[in-house]
Amino acid sequence: MKNDVIIVGAGLVGSMLACYLSKRGYKVSVYERRPDMRKSGYVGGRSINLALSHRGWKALKEIGLEEPVSKIAIPMTGRMIHDLNGNTNLLPYGRDGQAIYSVSRGELNKLMVIEAEKFKDVNFYFDQRCAGLDFGKNIIAFEDVNTMQRSEAAADIIFGADGAYSEVRYEMQKTPNFNISQQHEEYGYKELQIPAMANGEHQIEKNALHIWPRKSFMMIALPNLDGSFTVTLFAPFKGENSFEEIKTTEDVNRYFTKNFPDAVPLMPSLKDDYFANPTSSLVTIKCFPWKYNHACLIGDAAHAVVPFYGQGMNCGFEDAKELNDILNTGKDWEAVLNDFQYQRKKNADAIADLALYNFIEMRDLSGRADFQLRLKIEKKIAEKFSDKFMTHYSMVTFSDLSYSEAKKRGEKQNELLDKIMAMSDIENKWEGNEVMKLASDWIAANNN
């Protein structure tokens, strides 16, 4: 096996991949366009807090990082729905004890770099922009973003882990038969903040992901260790209730007082935050092949997804783990990278589709009584037939099922739930025997 590896991108996936490959005895060099976040701090204002779940934890555990990451993670046991009148309703994510975990992107990235550098033969080079790639010779050109000085580095294997707007992928686009689709949503997002109380405590329920669903737009809030919440407004760029409606401080006050009245008193720096932070875009990127010669894309560079299933990071971490699993077979790098791209492509496409649908669920459906009832029924069926039926959310978030299989099963289970929700007077008889009998018959017919 070849020994020298270059990873372009010192983000979450690049740092994790460095740990996995170092454990296998490879010499790993990681090049990053941004400055060293351990020294300069992480640039905030445009990041969405991360939701770490089962797949991510499993990948972290294999490289010994489960325990240090757990120290900066806050469990969220469900969605806390806020209606226009300020009423709240907690919708649990899974069974008792199951949770997803809020983690600051900046804090996690710093921790991952610190931990990766503890591994043998892992070296980081910051302020280095990928400026070209010779796939035949496995040579990458870099440009120092401060001095503009150019340099070259060579390796046996090259990974592009440099995010949704990957320079490595841009170079790969120049190779024969490379396919790519890039879909920007008509929605953008803006980061805001709910600060901690004077005593450092959280102003609202700490162990929940808060959602203010308003049909065509929404706001969410995830807890931070310092007692604050990172708040994100998702809204259309244009049209009704859009970002283009908000031009002045008076517009900010009107928009938020009208749509999120219970949140406004919690956000004393709302107006300053709104104009200080950029309005960022949402993009889904699908491409193939991920591999060309001895270079390969991984993480967002291969499959950027919108954040509405909380699986972008978890999917990228699972990439690194599954690559390592394939390396365990003893195959050569050519076969490993080929297996990797075919194994992960269908799952990356599946979670991209699921994430787009979950945006509709979060902003349009989660505040509706009929949808909340549907989730209760689905959960009740899963509890009664736990060996044969899982909620769709649990398949994606709390299981080892591939994303593609979870998507397929979820679509099938929707047929059952549609039948149940179409029953007359379902609001009053959803806990009765008739519903469970229908579920039992369906499960028996579809689990052979």
Predicted confidence (pLDDT) per residue in 289-346, tens digit? 999 999 999 999 999 999 889 899 999 999 999 999 999 999 999 999 999 999 999 9
Give yes or no for a contact between 315 and 353, defined as CB atoms under 8 angstroms apart. Answer: no
Q: Please state the separation of Cα 398 from the chain's center in Å.
A: 14
Give yes or no for a contact between 303 and 355, defined as CB atoms under 8 angstroms apart. Answer: no
Prior bond to 261 cis, omega within 30?
A: no
Q: Tokens for 23?
A: 């454990």
Write down the pLDDT at residue 365.
77
Residue 310 CB neighbour total at 10 angstroms: 25
CATH 3.40.50.10800 is held by the domain 4-44+105-181+283-357: no
Write down the pLDDT at residue 42.
58
Residue 199 CB neighbour total at 10 angstroms: 6
Write down the pLDDT at residue 46.
56
The conformation of residue 411, written as its DSSP 8-state character, comes to H
Give yes or no for a contact between 44 and 175, defined as CB atoms under 8 angstroms apart. Answer: no
Q: HEC profile for 11-74?
A: CHHHHHHHHHHHHCCCEEEEECCCCCHHHHCCCCCCCCCEEECHHHHHHHHHCCCHHHHHCCCE
Write down the pLDDT at residue 43.
57
Give yes or no for a contact between 7 and 30, defined as CB atoms under 8 angstroms apart. Answer: yes
Angle between the N-to-C axes of helices 403-421 and 369-384, in degrees from 0 to 180, rounded to the nearest 10: 110
- The C-alpha atoms of residue 28 and residue 408 are separated, in whole angstroms, by 38
Q: Give which of 392, 369, 436, 424 is closest to 89, Cα–Cα.
A: 369
Q: Is 201 exposed, middle or buried (0-12, 13-18, 19+ CB in 10 A)?
A: exposed
Give yes or no for a contact between 162 and 130, defined as CB atoms under 8 angstroms apart. Answer: yes
Listed by start position, the domains of the chain span 4-44+105-181+283-357, 368-446
Residue 416: helix, strand or coil by DSSP? helix
**Low pLDDT (below 50) residues in the chain:** 1
- The C-alpha atoms of residue 399 and residue 187 are separated, in whole angstroms, by 30
SS3 content of the chain, % helix, strand, coil (to 5): 40, 25, 35
Residue 86 CB neighbour total at 10 angstroms: 10
For residue 250, the surrounding DSSP H or E stretch is helix 249-259
pTM of the model: 0.94
Give yes or no for a contact between 48 and 230, defined as CB atoms under 8 angstroms apart. Answer: yes
Q: Give which of 235, 208, 212 is closest to 222, Cα–Cα.
A: 208
- The C-alpha atoms of residue 38 and residue 100 are separated, in whole angstroms, by 26
